[in-house]
Amino acid sequence: MQTLEAINNRASLKARLSAREVEQGKILKILDAARLAPSARNMQPWRFIVVRGKEQVETLVSRAFSEGNQVAKDAPIIIVACANPNDDIVRDGKEYYLHDVGMAVENLLLAATELGLATHPMTGVNEDELKRILCIPPEIRFVIATPLAYPVTDSYDEATQERLSERTRKNLDELVYHNEWGKSF
């Protein structure tokens, strides 16, 4: 899949996830993609916990995820992205670990898309409970979690088609300025 196609086809699927196992080779490719993201001073603040196993996933989702995110329970895998804020720069009050984990997570989502796997980045969790369950040290912050699963339909394209048809995004002229703020591009 071409990059622009993957960027266009990536969609957040949370319903209709298959319990089918995800091959270890694919998981490694997806994590490797995350690893290759850039970061401020190449500090690579991201850490990932791969939660796998029916019981482990169900415990995590039922106890730590918000009501709207319970569908993640159907996935064979949840990937949790977290970081130590001290492992990145803070500039004028801006904590860049969040930005840099975001770049790594986008790589992960696109790699999954290319490999036919569904994802759905979620922030709605009880962080304290999630950290307790996953034995995450106090200084580490949860950033985002995503199920990683095959869609229940045969093809990723089929499963995402409906989501994509409903996708709403601002137009470029609402987002892009030319040479100064407010000047249309």
Site size for a second copy, by CB under 8 A?
Answer: 78
**One character per residue 44-63, x = contact with a second copy (rule: CB under 8 A):** x-xxxxxxxx--x-------
> Measured from the CB of residue 153, what is the shortest distance to a second copy in angstroms?
21
**Cα separation values, 6 from 9, 52, 96, 133, 185, Å:** 5, 25, 26, 33, 26
Tell whether residue 12 is a contact of a second copy (CB under 8 A): yes
Nearer to a second copy, 21 or 32 (CB): 32
Residues 24-43 that bind a second copy (CB under 8 A): 28-29, 31-38, 40, 42
> Measured from the CB of residue 156, what is the shortest distance to a second copy in angstroms?
13
Burial class (CB in 10 A: 0-12, 13-18, 19+), 80: buried
Nearer to a second copy, 44 or 74 (CB): 44
Q: State both tokens at 18.
A: 């298959």
> Measured from the CB of residue 74, what is the shortest distance to a second copy in angstroms?
18
The whole-angstrom separation of Cα 134 and Cα 56 is 10
Asked if residue 62 lies in contact with residue 144, where contact means CB atoms within 8 angstroms, the answer is no
Angle between helices 96-114 and 24-35 (to 10 degrees): 140
**Beta pairing partners, 125:** 65
Which one among 14, 107, 118, 147 touches a second copy, defined by CB under 8 A? Answer: 107
Specify the stretch interacting with a second copy by CB under 8 A; choose among 13-21, 84-92, 148-156: 84-92
Specify the stretch interacting with a second copy by CB under 8 A; choose among 15-23, 92-100, 148-156: 92-100
Tell whether residue 150 is a contact of a second copy (CB under 8 A): no
Tell whether residue 71 is a contact of a second copy (CB under 8 A): no
Asked if residue 19 lies in contact with residue 123, where contact means CB atoms within 8 angstroms, the answer is no
Tell whether residue 4 is a contact of a second copy (CB under 8 A): yes
Tell whether residue 139 is a contact of a second copy (CB under 8 A): no
What is the Cβ-side half-sphere exposure of residue 42, based on CA atoms within 13 angstroms? 1
